[in-house]
Amino acid sequence: MNARQSFSWSAWCGGKWLGESHLPPEIRGWPGAGWPPQSSISFGNTETIFLALLFLCPMRTATLLFLGLLTVQLAQAQAPGRPQPAGSGLQAAYYNGTNFQQLVLRRRDANIDFDWKRQPPVDGLGWEYFSVRWEGYLLAPTTGEYEFSTVMDDGLRVWVGGKRIIDAWREQDHVPATVRLRLEAGRYYRLRVDYFQTILDSRAVLRWRLPNAAALQTVGATYMFAALPASAKPVPPPAPPALVVRAAPATRPGAAPSPVQPAVRRVAAVAPPRLVRRPAAQRPEPAGRRAAVPAVVGLGDSLPDLTKLRRGETVALKRLYFGQSQARLLPTSQPELKRLVRVLQEQPALRFEIAGHTDNVGDAQKNQVLSEQRARVVRAYLVQHGIDSARLTAVGYGGTRPVADNRDPQQRPRNRRVELVAR
């Protein structure tokens, strides 16, 4: 019998027979010279098909039919006839305020790839001081290690499968972040992304690199679902740590447990304490007789009584500290900011312009931008802590209003300041 005289391939897949033209190229044209004996050929993962090899060989009086079975792994995630449902994006909620204070709009976003370029993200919001939350499910198309990547300005947090994989909840400027995570094909992972914007540029991007892929790409709507499909296999949230119950020590049957004898410590004799007579405590005065205490008493010399300021008068916030040539408040500024929040909460009628100033060293335009950024950062802090934004404005004057001689290096730092101007 000459196997090359006549042969054909057929495949049973997805409930129907396929011809040779539909077979993977790795097995099309077999058998042939050097055909290796194999029982399975792996092309990728997940689905099994059965191939029937038919040899039709002419003989003198009969035709020999030979049937062989091969198991082949296809590279598709599912066999034909059972496609995965396609997603349409995530549920997005847009809020006024940087901490989800006031819901403005809900909508469906196909992906997270936004650069708002100082424009409002949706109607009803400004282009500053807003936040967004995207929620839904992420379908993993294949099994392996995924690389998730973001670009953010300002804060961003990402959860996949109930696990927080990115936590950059702070003001920042177009900062990238990357993390790797193993996912299983066909599983739906709970996805949540939080974002907030304060001032200037605003950008939120979520990308991934699939296993064995060459480049990052935006996570598309096909893999993101606002609700879990009926046929889905969700990934359960991480289980809390199991409680470990320690068994009581075993005792011999019939034996009574021995009583625990307290340890005996020898204590040196101590002389009795001397009695010190103190003046009798005075009775507290009734509430109606107490003297009224001004709201700013006890706030320190750095923050005088703001209620006495006349319109146009200024007070410098002397204990605010920023990163060098940056609009980033340092942690040492917290006491001053907290004092200011408390005063503004107790005096709701006060309204101020927050004025930023620099020295005259360097480019004047850059100095003006920096001074305005710093003023806006202070305003954002106050708004985040409950102060009505309508009570505050932020303006940057750069180096145009010095209070000290810029030619003297010892005096020049006094010009780098943030002031409150009564309105």
pLDDT of 241 higher than 60: no
b vs e for 263-293, b when ≥16 Cβ sit within 10 Å of the residue's Cβ?
eeeeeeeeeeeeeeeeeeeeeeeeeeeeeee
> What is the spatial distance between Cα 384 and Cα 199, in angstroms, rounded to a whole number?
13
pLDDT of 409 higher than 80: yes
Of 14-28, 235-249, 331-345, give the range with the top mean pLDDT: 331-345
Q: What is the pLDDT of residues 248-291, one digit of tens each?
A: 454 445 554 555 444 444 444 444 445 444 444 444 434 333 33
> What is the spatial distance between Cα 127 and Cα 118, in angstroms, rounded to a whole number?
6
- State the pLDDT at residue 39: 36
pLDDT of 96 higher than 80: yes
- State the pLDDT at residue 232: 75
Helix (H, G, I), strand (E, B) or coil at 417: strand
- State the pLDDT at residue 201: 85
Name the fold adopted by 90-234: Jelly Rolls (2.60.120)
- State the pLDDT at residue 276: 43
pLDDT of 157 higher than 60: yes
DSSP per residue, 284-335: PPPGGGSPP--TTTTS-TTS--GGGPPTT-EEE-TT--B-TTS--B-GGGHH
> What is the spatial distance between Cα 380 and Cα 90, in angstroms, rounded to a whole number?
29
Longest CA–CA span in the chain (Å) reads: 131
* From-to residues of CATH 2.60.120.1560 in the chain: 90-234
Stretch 343-355: mean pLDDT, rounded? 93
Stretch 79-84: mean pLDDT, rounded? 51
Stretch 131-141: mean pLDDT, rounded? 96
Across the chain, what does the average pLDDT equal?
74
- Parallel, antiparallel or unpaired: strands 155-160 and 144-153: unpaired
Q: What is the pLDDT of residues 291-326, one digit of tens each?
A: 333 333 333 446 788 888 889 999 999 889 888 888
**What is the CATH code for 299-422?**
3.30.1330.60
pLDDT of 4 higher than 70: no
Confidence of residue 150 (pLDDT cuts 50, 70, 90): very high
Q: What is the dihedral of CA 102, 107, 111, 114, to 10 degrees?
A: -50
* From-to residues of CATH 3.30.1330.60 in the chain: 299-422
> What is the spatial distance between Cα 44 and Cα 232, in angstroms, rounded to a whole number?
22
Confidence of residue 350 (pLDDT cuts 50, 70, 90): very high
> What is the spatial distance between Cα 347 and Cα 299, in angstroms, rounded to a whole number?
14
Confidence of residue 238 (pLDDT cuts 50, 70, 90): low
Confidence of residue 234 (pLDDT cuts 50, 70, 90): low
> Does the pTM of the predicted model rise above 0.85?
no
- State the pLDDT at residue 193: 97
Helix (H, G, I), strand (E, B) or coil at 258: coil
Stretch 178-198: mean pLDDT, rounded? 94
Across 69-73, 103-107, 223-227, 280-284, least confident range: 69-73
Higher pLDDT, 220 or 304: 220
